[in-house]
């Protein structure tokens, strides 16, 4: 057996060292070549998204009216449509993030059911329309706000963001991970297929004939990223003409049965969510026009929304069948009365009054009268200052 110190072993180690170095250099050069080589388009065959079928699906638990939030409805024009959409939507909590319905799929479902754009088109045809990116963001913001305002707190976890780890839309020729809430929308097979068709047409500008060829596997799709900052034309053609596009409602009257309610001659007491201090229902903030209005607690001086105050039944006062009758007809707050503007002939008297106040009281009325008589309508500020200085010095 050869020893390590012999010339034969030293030569073998020297050769092995150079072989390993040569392999590492070759591997590095191959990586550089592959990185710099022109990359061809990756083509994939159509692979539909599996249809989720759950027998124990549920609906959003609606406990309030969106018409009690008029300021929110004014800022988000599709709030009433979204409220009706989630009322009829069947959902199931997503057991896995891979089964979660993305926001883009929810938006396409919302539009296919006949609802209008979250950001309406401008009346002028020459004005630019909102992009898909803007429409999708407005839809997400509106849906989250509606769920937080009119749904039970147990449903708030359904709109929490899900952790997406897979490329769910890869079978449709769309690569990337897209945001999704923690729910799975239960839809019919027809709607499921229409949503997939719209996703393919959004990611690839293809005609209906090519779409049929793609679904029959006679044509492949190029794997691309979605470009949402555009495609306003695709969004305009998204609405299904077979469905009813009549809007759900406007800002409806709040209490249709107000005439049948008994007249209440005494106030109720509501509890602050900040420090449990009582407040009389005569406070103008307790109304059903906009429950997002803030009320100042007289004890801790903190502000809280009107919808967060409780009644003596231990419920939110606007959800209590008994204490909702104490709601004020409208919100009234004391406003500062604006000071009337000075007349045109008295323009510039503010500086005269400031100068007169600095003078002694016995001479104040006389000096003010003298200055007013000698001043023309003050149109030039510099002349007014010069005349005030001359009067004070006694030159005039």
pLDDT tens by residue, 117-128? 999 888 887 788
CA 368/CA 133 separation, integer angstroms: 65
pLDDT at position 163, please?
A: 85
**Are 187 and 298 within one domain?**
no
**Is the residue at 108 inside a domain?**
yes
pLDDT at position 288, please?
A: 87
**Are 91 and 228 within one domain?**
yes
- Highest mean pLDDT pick, 142-151, 220-229, 233-242, 249-258: 142-151
**Is the residue at 161 inside a domain?**
yes
**Is the residue at 95 inside a domain?**
yes
93, β-bridge pairs: 183
With bands split at pLDDT 50, 70 and 90, how would you rate the model's confidence at 379? very low
**Is the residue at 134 inside a domain?**
yes
**Are 209 and 72 within one domain?**
yes
pLDDT at position 244, please?
A: 42
- Which among 274, 260, 307 is positioned nearest to 66, based on CA atoms? 307
| Full domain range(s) for residue 106 | 58-121+129-236
**Are 319 and 194 within one domain?**
no
**Are 80 and 202 within one domain?**
yes
pLDDT at position 81, please?
A: 93
DSSP string, 216-246: TTSS-EE-B----S--HHHHHT-S-TTS---
**Are 312 and 197 within one domain?**
no
Phi, psi at 177, each rounded to 5° = -110, 135
Domain end residue (candidates: 236, 255, 283): 236
Q: Return the H-helix or E-strand segment holding 90.
A: strand 90-93
User: What number is the average pLDDT over the span 90-113?
Assistant: 87
pLDDT at position 86, please?
A: 92
Domain end residue (candidates: 278, 297, 326): 326
Count of structural domains, the chain: 3
**Is the residue at 257 inside a domain?**
no
**Is the residue at 259 inside a domain?**
no
pLDDT at position 82, please?
A: 94
Domain end residue (candidates: 220, 236, 252): 236
**Are 319 and 360 within one domain?**
no
**Is the residue at 115 inside a domain?**
yes
Q: How many helices (H) and strands (E) does the chain have?
A: 11, 9
**Are 270 and 197 within one domain?**
no
**Are 273 and 208 within one domain?**
no
Sign of CA dihedral 70, 75, 81, 86: negative
Q: Is 62 helix (H, G, I), strand (E, B) or coil?
A: strand
**Are 105 and 215 within one domain?**
yes
pLDDT at position 172, please?
A: 87
Give the model confidence (pLDDT) of 282-327 as tens digits: 888 888 888 888 888 888 888 889 888 988 888 888 888 888 888 8
**Could you tell me the two tokens for 158?**
């359904």
> Which range, of 63-67, 148-152, 190-194, 280-284, averages the lowest pLDDT?
280-284
Q: Report how far Cα 351 is from the mean position of its chain's Cα atoms.
A: 49
- Which among 326, 385, 374 is positioned nearest to 350, based on CA atoms? 385
Q: Is 115 helix (H, G, I), strand (E, B) or coil?
A: coil
User: What number is the average pLDDT over the span 366-389?
Assistant: 50
CA 304/CA 51 separation, integer angstroms: 44
Task: Name, in order, each residue with C-beta under 8 angstroms of 10's C-beta and a sequence gap of 6 or more.
Answer: 4
Q: Which residue has the tokens 């997939």?
A: 196
Sign of CA dihedral 10, 15, 20, 21: positive
CB 264 within 8 A of CB 326: yes
Q: Is 170 helix (H, G, I), strand (E, B) or coil?
A: helix
Q: Which whole-number Å values give the CA distances from 313 to 229, 272, 291, 317, 319, in the listed order?
A: 50, 14, 19, 8, 10
Is pLDDT at 106 greater than 90 in this prediction? yes
Q: Angle 79-88/103-112 helices, nearest 10 degrees?
A: 100
Q: Report how far Cα 59 is from the mean position of its chain's Cα atoms.
A: 22
**Is the residue at 6 inside a domain?**
no
CB 160 within 8 A of CB 71: no
Task: Name, in order, each residue with C-beta under 8 angstroms of 274's C-beta and a sequence gap of 6 or more.
Answer: 297, 300, 302, 304
Task: Name, in order, each residue with C-beta under 8 angstroms of 341's C-beta and a sequence gap of 6 or more.
Answer: none
**Are 178 and 63 within one domain?**
yes
Is pLDDT at 330 greater than 70 in this prediction? no
**Are 349 and 386 within one domain?**
yes
């Amino acid at each position: 057996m050869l020893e390590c110190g012999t010339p034969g072993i030293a030569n073998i180690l020297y050769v092995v060292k150079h072989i390993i170095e040569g392999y590492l250099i070759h591997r590095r050069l191959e990586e550089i070549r592959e990185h710099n080589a022109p990359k061809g388009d990756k083509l994939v065959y159509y692979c539909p998204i599996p249809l989720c079928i759950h027998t124990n699906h549920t609906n959003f638990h609606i406990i309030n009216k969106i018409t009690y939030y008029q300021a929110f409805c004014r800022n988000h024009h599709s709030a009433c449509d979204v409220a009706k959409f989630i009322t009829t939507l069947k959902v199931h909590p997503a057991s896995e993030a891979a089964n979660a319905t993305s926001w883009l799929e929810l938006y396409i479902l919302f539009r296919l059911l006949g609802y209008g754009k979250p950001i309406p088109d401008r009346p002028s045809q020459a004005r630019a329309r909102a992009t898909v990116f803007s429409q999708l963001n407005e839809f997400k913001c509106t849906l989250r706000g509606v769920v937080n305002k009119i749904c039970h707190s147990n449903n708030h976890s359904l709109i929490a963001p899900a952790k997406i780890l897979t490329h769910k839309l890869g079978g449709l020729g769309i690569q990337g991970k897209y945001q999704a809430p923690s729910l799975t929308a239960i839809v019919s097979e027809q709607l499921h297929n229409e949503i997939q068709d719209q996703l393919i047409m959004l990611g690839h500008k293809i005609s209906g004939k090519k779409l049929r060829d793609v679904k029959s596997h006679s044509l492949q799709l190029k794997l691309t990223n979605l470009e949402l900052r555009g495609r306003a034309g695709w969004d305009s053609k998204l609405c299904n003409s077979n469905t009813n596009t009549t809007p759900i409602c406007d800002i409806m009257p709040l209490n249709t049965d107000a005439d049948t309610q008994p007249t209440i001659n005494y106030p109720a007491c509501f509890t602050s969510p900040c420090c449990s201090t009582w407040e009389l229902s005569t406070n103008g903030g307790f109304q059903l026009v906009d429950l997002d209005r803030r009320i100042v607690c007289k004890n801790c001086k903190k502000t809280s929304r009107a919808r967060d105050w409780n009644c003596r039944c231990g419920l939110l006062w606007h959800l209590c069948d008994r204490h909702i009758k104490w709601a004020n007809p409208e919100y009234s707050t004391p406003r500062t009365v604006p000071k009337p503007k000075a007349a045109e002939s008295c323009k510039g008297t503010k500086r005269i009054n400031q100068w007169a106040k600095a003078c002694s009281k016995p001479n104040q009325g006389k000096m003010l009268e003298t200055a007013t008589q000698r001043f023309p309508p003050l149109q030039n500020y510099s002349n007014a200052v010069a005349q005030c200085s001359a009067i004070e010095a006694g030159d005039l």
